[in-house]
Structure 1
Amino acid sequence: MSYQTAKAAFAEWGVDTEAALARLATVPISMHCWQGDDVVGFEKQTGSSGGGIQATGNHPGRARTPEELRADLQFAYAMIPGRHRLNLHAMYMDTEETPDRDEIEYRHFEPWVDWAKAQGIGLDFNPTFFAHAKADDNLTLSHPDAGIRDFWIEHGKRTRDIAARIGLELGSACVNNIWVPDGYKDIPVDRMAARARLEASLDTMLAPAQEPAQMLDAVESKLFGIGVEACTVGSHEFYMGYAIRKGTLLCLDMGHFHPTENIADKLSAVALSLPQILLHVSRPMRWDSDHVILLNDDILAMAYELVSADLLHRTFIGLDFFDATISRTAAWVIGTRNMQKALLRALLAPWDRLRAAEDSLDFTARLTLTEEFRDLPFGEVWAEFCKRLDTPSGLTLISELDAYQASVAVRA
């Protein structure tokens, strides 16, 4: 079947494939740097893993230097249609210096900005509140020790300054997302005190004004992690309230909720109280295990909600998975393309007919429409999107992924 035939098939349902392709081309996905090296980072000093974060596997080809990571990223971007972004963590500095986390400055990340300019992509940023001796208790901004809190507050302030400079240099607002691992392995006796300390630390950290056109603050919750099974200080309720009161973005990470919770259902609910949202898209298996995302029901439901509720222009979409059992570059490419495929499917849905059926309480028609339009030739429209943006698909894509993996497999 040709694209023209597929276009006509969708037109019978009142769907304009050209409009869908044009809209998809404007949606950037912020691809995460930490998939490329198993969340190791490039700090010269020795740290601990911590934070409940663990990448399993030892597939050959892990990036060992910023140069190798950037080469891998460039290859991945070439396999993904459209123009996208990179989500950079503070532990990925590119410098011969050895600054501690409370000493980092823009110059330690300037090579990343120069590279982003050359690639024509935007950058997002994250403070790194884990993998450090001062985070070994799984307490940072909520630590009872004021000295520990002050260390991490200063780290957070500096990341905001760095993010603002990145946004200024690239002419695109840099989303600076705050996630802390703080919590308790066993049942605490005073949750309120820990949450009050976290709130006060965040207030101090976010107090210096930044230009929104250059930097946007986001806060991210979590249900639990390794070592904080009993209580996570920064819960969803904590951060949702904080974001609404303080005017930050709220980050919804698909792996940070109970397995039975539907993240898609949360989007329209929080959007009524927040002007902008940040998404971290992953695939949890029974916990926050961050598998490469598939084109499955969870991803489709989220994409449908973004389009149906008209939230695409208010939502920053980032990825957050890391798998060391497979090719790391293939993981980036497959995951990012699946996010795009889900959005394209949502943009190709017959929303006028679906809404008309629902508004008239004709739930039979709604169900019939929902199931029947799944059979429309979506694959031909996706192939056309890749073709127009000079990106391989199908067997050609697989061949490109295999060839690149073979070229990096020699890395020790």
Structure 2
Amino acid sequence: MDISSLSQINPPPRLLMGPGPINADPRVLRAMSSQLIGQYDPAMTDYMNQVMALYRGVFATQNQWTLLVDGTSRAGIEAILVSTIRPGDKVLVPVFGRFGHLLCEIARRCRAEVHTIEVPWGEVFRPEQIEEAIKKVKPRLLLTVQGDTSTTMLQPLEQLGEICRRHGVLLYTDATASLAGNPLETDAWGIDAVSAGMQKCLCGPSGTSPITLSDRIVDQIRKRKCVEEGIRTAQHQQGDEEMIYSNYFDLGMVLDYWGPERLNHHTEATSALFGAYEAARLILEEGLEAGIARHKLHGDAVLKGVHAMGLQVFGDIQHKMNNVLGVYIPSGVVGDEVRHLMLNDFGIEIGTSFGPLHGKVWRIGTMGYNARKSCVMQTLTALEAVLNHVGFKTVQGAALQAAWDHYQASGAHA
């Protein structure tokens, strides 16, 4: 291979205003550029302990086992499910978007008996709908998504923990798209396991998945057997129904690595851990409630601007995430053409959609480092200009004025 034609990595400047990833906070990137240290250096293990403490604050929990799974947000999902689900377990998945289907797929790979209930995309479930399904199915686990970026909807979780405890069900939620931009009270809501990702409201790059586990679910994980070479034969003689077939995602082993035993399992992704540390530190420095309010402020500003352009919004607005908005593509407008013009002429990325919404909806995100007034105003300016350019006429400046009015009424300046 001739490398003389290859240059240093130098990606074009982009303002990422889609459903994720977003632009990482520069302070997170600076933390990630720190030099490496050894895996068992006291400084390194101290950083690991500090990360656990920081993410207890982000998840609003006292769970001892709050840590990082190295890999994208899907790694956190898979680690929890593969370590908890036993072959033949009944699981119930309330599906209201693409990522509910993802939970079903992973659960089936764990050889679970998967049951689903569904609502149309753009809606969420009422607690009584879920409880009725629990009574009928009698699952061991309820697998939920809090915020599904495919529909921009936020599933209420506040009552599900109590329902699950009453029926002897473990409760897991995927909060990849919602954590730190929308309220999530792990302990107060009785959630047994939560996983997230860095590339949305946590203002970092994809590649690390924070998780938190209740004592109740850790007890179940600890009872599972792992398939290590030294015990493989004995396990096959006993039967394989309790085995965890993944070594990398075996949380029983990962907990021993993060715990005081420090038993070797993998080489921790040091740079990613530094970034996750800084992201959580920044969230708690701002204040979790203040950060959620910031996401709502700027998400509502986009909503006001979009309405002022005469565009229609997708889904039940009362249940939308603070940080992502679905917008119907107007009749006669080619959605991808608008996205390409925004990207190529303004350097701004907004999202398309998929499944039943493919070609019908744009998704505009205001999350993490990009939940800022300047980002909102740039995006509204570009979208209005492009829409007029392709023949969808708006009242010039109406979107910006609506956003300005919203910020002025809110007393916000940044």
Q: Assess same fold via TM > 0.5.
A: no
TM score, norm. by length of structure 1: 0.28
Q: Which has the higher helix share?
A: 1
